[in-house]
Amino acid sequence: MDDLAILVSEIERKARDVADRLSQLELENRLLKSKLQETETSLNLHKSKIKELENKNSILKVSGSLGRTNGKQETQKAMAVIDGLVKEIDRCLMLLDH
What are the tens digits of pLDDT across the range 32-76?
999 999 999 999 999 999 999 988 888 887 777 666 655 677 777
d(CA 36, CA 31): 9
pLDDT value for 67: 63
d(CA 60, CA 67): 10
The range of the structural domain enclosing residue 77 comes to: 2-97
- In the chain, the percentage of residues whose pLDDT exceeds 90 is 49
**Does the predicted TM-score (pTM) go above 0.75?**
no
Structural domains in the chain (count)? 1
d(CA 96, CA 98): 5
